[in-house]
Structure 1
């Protein structure tokens, strides 16, 4: 597993096999107390095996900055009931089912331009309001006269506006009356200028459609949709789809529907709706309030399945999106695992209906009940492991001592000293031709096509999944590969739908990665960051051993939320090293990102050299085309095991374990212990046994 990596203790260890069957490796998630769930997500030294969706990595994370003003989208709308949020047809392509007629009717609650003018007069005063109107007219005239002019360079100042509520009202009022303008705030001064995106869309559709579309975006009314005029040109529709997804894909999604045009002839129309995640908040008479969603909690038992693969099965059966599921961490594939999950938009009764179907896929659903919120990655106390090690024997170089003594010595050492806190092999796709960290590196380098090709690299297995991957790499026929894939292969299908629409080029592959949920996209980059951390830990222990050295980073405990994460990570000074002020258990190493500090000793130099080797010396750890932000975090170099117990058992009935005569081939070792979040049992076993798996 980690052949060049360090061991912490010097005991010889022993050999054995793990995961002979899933029942030999049972993982049960230790839940956080119910009353603590609402407070989850604060700074902590604990980690998860996958980082939170909007953060770089799981431990010691930088606190997020709250948005100080409401988000400013552009435009107005036509409103009506939107299709179900779980409709997979919205992922791409045309659809024959026509939208409801009401979806193209204007919302009677929209304020007229006259009302907006009155709002602007009251907020700005009539003289400034008139100057704004003149600026808007002059800008439109300039756009019409100078076809190649960049209208966004013209600006108009509304002056300083100190009150945030008034600023928010002005943002909305200006853009409802003039959807071709955008408003920005610079040091409390409000600036108005032309909207380049508006002008670009005007080149594709009529100005009335453009104006109505931007008003639809700005109003952002829940359950509203917007339809462009019927368009029989498939290539033109494709260009419009592409533009909207490129510019506003984080906020909305598009789909072509069959409609009847003004001549009563069948035609196609592009419909736009807000993505589900846009409705985390909604407007009400009392201002902004949380939307009440339907949540159902349950415990998922799975066997020989990846967590994301299991979610793919469940999502397909329930008719919802994989992103509607929340969980606190990724669990082993080659194991029987138990973990809490919450699914959105599904009732307990609906979940119970699919119990018999999912059992055929190696899953069982327990403890189904209603919940009031989703789960967060890292929102767990840890994991409990029950492991059986079979085929016990001495290492080839160590056959003199009694095997039972070797086991006892190993258990005592790991219980008192702990183990090096490496990320385990399952983090990287153990045994696969292409490991997840390789895909992550390609994404960090913005080599989108290479990342897609790596993602679709097949294993040497003749099954539907690998045959589909093989076919795609040979032909680049995304549509054909899509038809070959099983329904539960959600990530693959999401990517292929986008590639079918946009092509297997840089732009198309970028859209492909954007088409899968954020948590799945960033998973690959976290895998790369984890690989670098593993290598850094080995280098640190090789250079300085278990002694705390000048320049090391240590973490200061504390619950003061006003103290930033960087301020809580302290660089060890020379006097502190001499005084042995800190222990090796307090030393942390950074997971690479844009907001972390590096050790100021040889380990820090190593990080910079290692990143340079992968052409990341200038990397800002923000992949803007994929909306990925990797601030970084810190991970303890050592970890301890809790509640460790073990016993030896004869492999066949009637065989006993004598003190001085242990029959190697007939005895198994049963180990039970607890680990903190993001600690790997295989890594702990590696320290105990001195074996690589």
Structure 2
């Protein structure tokens, strides 16, 4: 009997080693990707690098995605659920697994999209005056009937659609003096190993004004960026004026804290998760 109990314990131990990760489903709402990782890390009390996610979900949506938690027992996940609910997040345990999710390991996304105020557009050639013989296009709006909408959906099912990258991925078109820093500007500096330039571009951010002259960012964020610029890139002075909200400007905060601690731009950039750095 003693031998059987020892064998049983050994098998349980081996099974625990095999199932070294916990597979979960994470729900988030109005939460930026890096903030979500930080909140998971704090609630579950694990390292951000132990959280495996296959991709980045949109902030302006209610999203669900699988994640793996390396060397995290299911009971720790259950204990963290209440804390996450207070921050527009939740997590549910699926099962133990012997693998971890890495960036790009996904089969695709499924969306439920609510579209409102639909109209059918009717295009007609409009004859100009005799002095202007060229034709122009007249656009008229008509009520959108169910049959027309079903035909549009069927056309997408048959032929697919172009998957556009939004401005949040590549930045606005135009001169950099007008629109500010674009994502690929930061990525290019990293590939060229210009670490100081990459940090500076992250802190400069987008243009202060949009196309209509309105501010793109709020006053608290603008204060951080202007302080960074006016102080000649002093991380201590910039951190002092950071917004009180811990979820605000998470990338900039992590880089500045790394720069303050290590005094090295490369080490500061390495304070960001690998998946975050590759996003640029």
Instruction: Provide TM-score, normalisation by structure 2.
Output: 0.68
2:139 to 398, 402, 425: 398
Higher helix share: 2
- Cα distance in structure 2, aligned partners of 1:467 and 1:490: 15
- Mapping of 1:254-653 within 5 angstroms? 294-367=20-93, 369-395=95-121, 397-399=138-140, 403-404=144-145, 406-428=148-170, 434-457=181-204, 460-463=217-220, 467-475=223-231, 476-482=233-239, 484=242, 486-488=245-247, 491-503=251-263, 508-524=264-280
Question: Residues 195-215 of structure 1, C-alpha deviation per residue, up to 9 Å, x if partnerless?
Answer: xxxxxxxxxxxxxxxxxxxxx
- Cα distance in structure 2, aligned partners of 1:517 and 1:400: 48
Structure 1 gaps of 5+ residues are: 1-290, 525-693
8 Å contact from structure 2 (residues 235, 260) kept in 1: yes
8 Å contact from structure 1 (residues 298, 369) kept in 2: yes
Instruction: Give how far 1:310 is off.
Output: 0.7
- Cα distance in structure 1, aligned partners of 2:273 and 2:37: 13
- Cα distance in structure 2, aligned partners of 1:471 and 1:371: 47
Instruction: Give how far 1:450 is off.
Output: 2.8
- Cα distance in structure 2, aligned partners of 1:493 and 1:345: 28
8 Å contact from structure 2 (residues 119, 142) kept in 1: no
Instruction: Give how far 1:388 is off.
Output: 0.7
- Cα distance in structure 1, aligned partners of 2:57 and 2:88: 14
Relative distance call for 1:482 and 1:372 in structure 2 (3 A) is farther
8 Å contact from structure 2 (residues 18, 97) kept in 1: no
* 1:380 match: secondary structure: coil
Relative distance call for 1:376 and 1:498 in structure 2 (3 A) is closer
Question: Residues 552-590 of structure 1, C-alpha deviation per residue, up to 9 Å, x if partnerless?
Answer: xxxxxxxxxxxxxxxxxxxxxxxxxxxxxxxxxxxxxxx
Alignment root-mean-square deviation, CA: 3.2
Question: Residues 68-100 of structure 1, C-alpha deviation per residue, up to 9 Å, x if partnerless?
Answer: xxxxxxxxxxxxxxxxxxxxxxxxxxxxxxxxx
Question: Residues 317-374 of structure 1, C-alpha deviation per residue, up to 9 Å, x if partnerless?
Answer: 3343322210111111111100011122332222222222222221111235433221
- Cα distance in structure 1, aligned partners of 2:44 and 2:154: 48
8 Å contact from structure 1 (residues 495, 515) kept in 2: yes
* 1:343 match: secondary structure: strand
- Cα distance in structure 2, aligned partners of 1:328 and 1:433: 30
8 Å contact from structure 2 (residues 22, 68) kept in 1: yes
Relative distance call for 1:292 and 1:491 in structure 2 (3 A) is farther
- Mapping of 1:101-180 within 5 angstroms? none
How many residues are aligned here? 229
8 Å contact from structure 1 (residues 293, 344) kept in 2: no
8 Å contact from structure 1 (residues 316, 487) kept in 2: no
8 Å contact from structure 1 (residues 332, 426) kept in 2: no
Instruction: Provide TM-score, normalisation by structure 1.
Output: 0.30
* 2:59 match: secondary structure: coil
Instruction: Give how far 1:427 is off.
Output: 3.2
8 Å contact from structure 2 (residues 103, 275) kept in 1: no
- Cα distance in structure 2, aligned partners of 1:343 and 1:429: 33
Q: Determine which structure has greater relative contact order: mean sequence separation of CA pairs < 8 Å that are 6+ residues apart, divided by chain length.
A: 1
Relative distance call for 1:462 and 1:400 in structure 2 (3 A) is closer
Bigger radius of gyration among the two: 1
